[in-house]
Amino acid sequence: MARVTLLTDFGAADGYVAAMKGAIATVAPSVIIDDAAHDVLAGDVRTAAWALAGYWRIYPAGTVHVAVIDPGVGGSRRALALEADGRFLVGPDNGVFTRVLQQVASVRMVSIEATAFMRDVISSTFHGRDIFGPAAAYLATGTPLDALGPEAAEPYLLPLPQPRRSVDAVHGEVVHVDRFGNLVTNIPLVWMTAGAVVRIGAHVLPLRRTYGDVESGAPVALTGSHGCVEISVRDDDARWVLGADVGVAVSLTGLTRGGPD
Amino acid sequence: MARVTLLTDFGAADGYVAAMKGAIATVAPSVIIDDAAHDVLAGDVRTAAWALAGYWRIYPAGTVHVAVIDPGVGGSRRALALEADGRFLVGPDNGVFTRVLQQVASVRMVSIEATAFMRDVISSTFHGRDIFGPAAAYLATGTPLDALGPEAAEPYLLPLPQPRRSVDAVHGEVVHVDRFGNLVTNIPLVWMTAGAVVRIGAHVLPLRRTYGDVESGAPVALTGSHGCVEISVRDDDARWVLGADVGVAVSLTGLTRGGPD
Amino acid sequence: MARVTLLTDFGAADGYVAAMKGAIATVAPSVIIDDAAHDVLAGDVRTAAWALAGYWRIYPAGTVHVAVIDPGVGGSRRALALEADGRFLVGPDNGVFTRVLQQVASVRMVSIEATAFMRDVISSTFHGRDIFGPAAAYLATGTPLDALGPEAAEPYLLPLPQPRRSVDAVHGEVVHVDRFGNLVTNIPLVWMTAGAVVRIGAHVLPLRRTYGDVESGAPVALTGSHGCVEISVRDDDARWVLGADVGVAVSLTGLTRGGPD
């Protein structure tokens, strides 16, 4: 049986996560449920999309990933189930899959509408428990994707900032700050060339391999675990030390060519 | 084998949760342990009772729910194990089961006293590890409830505020504020009638179906996932926007009759 | 199959924990992964070492404990895998195993270097996903410890403060403050003798059995769950009430002898 993972903004004090797990366990009593993260800020779909992109394909094929950051619950947004690269994803059609969809060439997608795969009573405020959890459990136990509802197209995509390239530079920005204060940018590492440097505010940083390549307290540009340029401060929090946050401009300059085509 | 769920106020930095899990795994090596919530405020039995009530019956029969919010550990309070509606519950006799007991017609209950089902050495400060965890593991592996100790009666019940009904109104209060700032009241939705409105402070709110039925930033009264009236602010935190917290008065007025008998 | 536990400073908002779990599940699809704790302060190896010591041996033999608090990732610190008392431990060689190693007479230890047991691409910033997680999964599925790499010696040990003994007193200090505000000291309970008292600041406290042995709001000295003297305030937070934190002096005085030899 496949595993199910849960990503939510439910926190760890209210019991909502457990209600989702119970709904899953009722359908699939022996399924293993892995908590991905539950402390995403309430309604922060952008951060959830970033987090999900970092693990969904690290899991083996067959895994079912549930993402419930769902401020529009009970409204007109669709409930989606996707299959991409052999993994399944379940959640609201509010952009939470934006980065996943950027990473794959093709995807199958349905709108979850078959009530046979939902809880008997559907609330209008808790679809994680009543719709998404059960759908994930059915997928984990072998229910085919298209049993859940009709084929769907045109998922909502977050308007993520795109890096701009010029002849010898790339202009991007910070798109996520993690728990360590690392500034994750939207500049793919594949655009870096020998001799190029990373600029943020007044800082000009060569790309290094790891934190230990600079002195404690010094800023450093690195290859982040998502494959983009990250800016860190060794043994400290780059957000505070550099006074930067999501949206702050970052550039690569001195490129010997504009990057790959 | 049944699943075990854990609800505590241990947080996620000290390793206490893992010690409980280890004690469970020693008894039941292949049992699946689901974290329910561990960030309940230290000693906040009232919130734990509310959280537990929201998921214990969503899980399938056979599940063992452990709730260790236990400021009286090592004192005279009993250690309880309950069976209700086919689920088991394990924890201190301090009111954490109050809301569960309100939801069921009958319950079997024992005082956990059989040392054969505890760890070899029992501390006086960590019964989650030494008594409750092992008891849950034995229940999950088929040990009968009454093997754990003698039948028990009169569990301690929290003095929860009860809503008062008059001919055309119900007077209740906020009993929980969740991570999203939703104000959960103690007014059961079954008391709502057509044309009635929800009052909190100066706000008069018709009951709506979901958040999206009002403008962003507006307050709204809803059917909460626990079956009681909830007051929310769309895309914001009702606690801060409305300046309300646990204990604040909420009423239903304009009822065409006083509710069901 | 053995269980795997995870202790990190990754928090619960970024998806890093899930990436580790995915890497483990890829190697060992049906392994149960228990979260130990993920809210250790970023880079706080000292606290992680304390937490780990409290649960690793509560789990049954065969369990694989992963501890990734790893500010030196990508640098020259070794990646270690240990076997002690039948349990396995995996993590960076930065002192996180210090307290575990104090608890055992013997240990087998290897430096994880065999790339066959790592992910295909090894980042220089996320060895939890690329090295430690997979190593743990291989150990959980029966891979012998020495397959992971060459034997290793002289693990880095944190310079933990040691209590000093005189004829009739022991001078120690607070080494951890837990979520409840309990002040955990480095004074083993075995050194306590009848009539001795615990001193912290201006407070002179007899050793009691549990919180309930003093009035609400009063300080109390207890046997902590790790086997050392702990100082608590009943129904309150000793850190704030007593104005104490890690490093504050604590002593046992009035000992009838200096303790066991």
Instruction: Please tell me the predicted confidence (pLDDT) of residue A257.
Output: 60
Instruction: Please tell me the predicted confidence (pLDDT) of residue C54.
Output: 96
Q: Above 70 in pLDDT, residue C257?
A: no
Q: Above 70 in pLDDT, residue C259?
A: no
Mean pLDDT value of segment C37-48:
96
HEC string for B138-204: HHHCCCCHHHCCCECCCCCCCCCCCCEECCCEEEEEEEEECCCCCEEEEEEHHHCCCCCEEEECCEE
Length of chain B counted residue by residue? 261
The sign of the dihedral angle between the CA atoms of A205, A228, A238, C45 is negative
Per-residue buried b or exposed e for A218-253, using 16+ beta carbons within 10 Å of the residue's own CB? bbbbbbbbbebbbbbbbbbbbbeebebeeebebbbe
Residue A73 with chain B: CB contacts under 8 Å:
210-211
Instruction: Please tell me the predicted confidence (pLDDT) of residue A50.
Output: 96
Residue B52, min C-alpha distance to chain A (Å) = 6
The pLDDT-based confidence of B258 (bands split at 50, 70, 90) is very low
Strands B64-68 and B4-8: parallel
Q: What is the pLDDT of residues C96-120, one digit of tens each?
A: 999 999 999 999 999 999 999 999 9
Q: What is d(CA A221, CA A206) in angstroms, rounded to the nearest whole number? A: 6
Q: What is the pLDDT of residues B45-86, one digit of tens each?
A: 999 999 999 999 999 999 999 999 999 998 899 999 999 999
Q: What is the pLDDT of residues B127-139, one digit of tens each?
A: 999 999 999 999 9
Supply the mean pLDDT for chain A. 94
Residue C168, amino acid = D
User: What ipTM was estimated for this complex?
Assistant: 0.95
A138 in reach of chain B (CB within 8 A): no
Q: Which residues contact B79 (CB under 8 A, 6 or more apart)?
A: B90, B91, B92, B93, B111, B112, B113, B127, B131, B132, B135
Q: Above 70 in pLDDT, residue A82?
A: yes
Mean pLDDT value of segment B13-25:
97
Cross-chain Cβ contact B21/C230 below 8 Å = no
Which residues are registered as beta bridge partners of B4? Answer: B33, B64
Q: What is d(CA C8, CA C37) in angstroms, rounded to the nearest whole number? A: 6
Angle at C94 (CA atoms; ends C88, C95), nearest 5 degrees: 70
Q: Are A24 and A48 in contact (CB under 8 A)?
A: no
Cross-chain Cβ contact B39/A15 below 8 Å = no
Residue B135, min C-alpha distance to chain C (Å) = 15
Instruction: Please tell me the predicted confidence (pLDDT) of residue B129.
Output: 97
Q: What is d(CA B161, CA A190) in angstroms, rounded to the nearest whole number? A: 61
Q: Are A58 and A65 in contact (CB under 8 A)?
A: no
- Residue B60, SS3 per DSSP: coil
Instruction: Please tell me the predicted confidence (pLDDT) of residue A149.
Output: 98
Q: Are C223 and C153 in contact (CB under 8 A)?
A: no
Q: What is the pLDDT of residues A147-170, one digit of tens each?
A: 999 999 999 999 999 999 988 899
Residue A39 with chain C: CB contacts under 8 Å:
11-13
- Residue C18, SS3 per DSSP: helix
Residue in chain B lying closest to A123 (CA): B225
Q: What is d(CA C85, CA B94) in angstroms, rounded to the nearest whole number? A: 38
Q: Which two tokens stand for residue A170?
A: 């790339």
For residue C163, report the phi and psi dihedrals to the nearest 5 degrees: -70, 145
Any idea which residue has 């956990």 for tokens?
B112
Q: Which residues contact B34 (CB under 8 A, 6 or more apart)?
A: A18, A21, A25, A33, B3, B4, B5, B6
**From A47, A225, A237, residue closest to C13, measured CB to CB:** A47
The pLDDT-based confidence of C261 (bands split at 50, 70, 90) is very low
The residue among C10, C14, C26, C70 with the most chain A CBs within 10 A of its CB, best to mutate, is C14
CA atoms within 13 A on the CB side of B184: 18
pTM above 0.90, yes or no: yes
Any idea which residue has 């309070």 for tokens?
B77
Q: Which chains touch C (3 or more CB pairs under 8 A)?
A: A, B
Residue in chain C lying closest to B43 (CA): C235
Residue in chain B lying closest to A14 (CA): B51
Q: Above 90 in pLDDT, residue A259?
A: no
Instruction: Please tell me the predicted confidence (pLDDT) of residue A23.
Output: 98
- State the helix-helix crossing angle for B133-140 and B16-27, rounded to 10 degrees: 40
Q: Are A36 and A53 in contact (CB under 8 A)?
A: no
Any idea which residue has 């409750």 for tokens?
B132
B26 in reach of chain C (CB within 8 A): yes
Length of chain C counted residue by residue? 261
**From A40, A212, A224, residue closest to C74, measured CB to CB:** A212
Which residues are registered as beta bridge partners of B252? Answer: B170, B198
Is residue C261 classed exposed, middle or buried when 0-12, 13-18 and 19+ CB atoms within 10 A define those classes?
A: exposed
- Residue C238, SS3 per DSSP: helix
The pLDDT-based confidence of A258 (bands split at 50, 70, 90) is very low
Residue A1, amino acid = M
Instruction: Please tell me the predicted confidence (pLDDT) of residue A190.
Output: 86
Highest mean pLDDT pick, B214-218, B252-256, C34-38: C34-38
Other beta carbons less than 10 A from residue A9's beta carbon: 25
Angle at B98 (CA atoms; ends B74, B170), nearest 5 degrees: 145
**Any idea what DSSP says for residue B89?**
E
For residue A133, report the phi and psi dihedrals to the nearest 5 degrees: -60, -55
Q: Which residues contact B234 (CB under 8 A, 6 or more apart)?
A: B211, B212, B214, B215, B216, B217, B218, B220
Instruction: Please tell me the predicted confidence (pLDDT) of residue B167.
Output: 85
The residue among C35, C55, C63 with the most chain B CBs within 10 A of its CB, best to mutate, is C55
Q: Which chains touch A (3 or more CB pairs under 8 A)?
A: B, C
Q: Count of CB contacts below 8 A, A vs B? A: 118
Q: What is the pLDDT of residues C197-251, one digit of tens each?
A: 999 999 999 899 888 899 999 999 998 878 899 999 999 999 999 999 999 999 9
The candidate with the shortest Cα–Cα distance to A206, out of A216, A197, A215, A219, is A197
Cross-chain Cβ contact B50/A12 below 8 Å = no
Q: What is the pLDDT of residues B155-167, one digit of tens each?
A: 999 999 999 998 8
Instruction: Please tell me the predicted confidence (pLDDT) of residue B127.
Output: 96
Torsion angle (degrees, nearest 10) of CA B5, A55, C109, C64? 20
Q: What percent of chain C is predicted at pLDDT more than 70?
A: 98
Q: Which two tokens stand for residue B88?
A: 């088991």
A122 in reach of chain B (CB within 8 A): no
B98 in reach of chain A (CB within 8 A): no
Q: What is d(CA C113, CA A184) in angstroms, rounded to the nearest whole number? A: 29
Cross-chain Cβ contact C16/A178 below 8 Å = yes
B214 in reach of chain A (CB within 8 A): no
Q: How distant, in Å, are the alpha carbons of A37, A226, B120 from that of C38?
A: 10, 20, 29
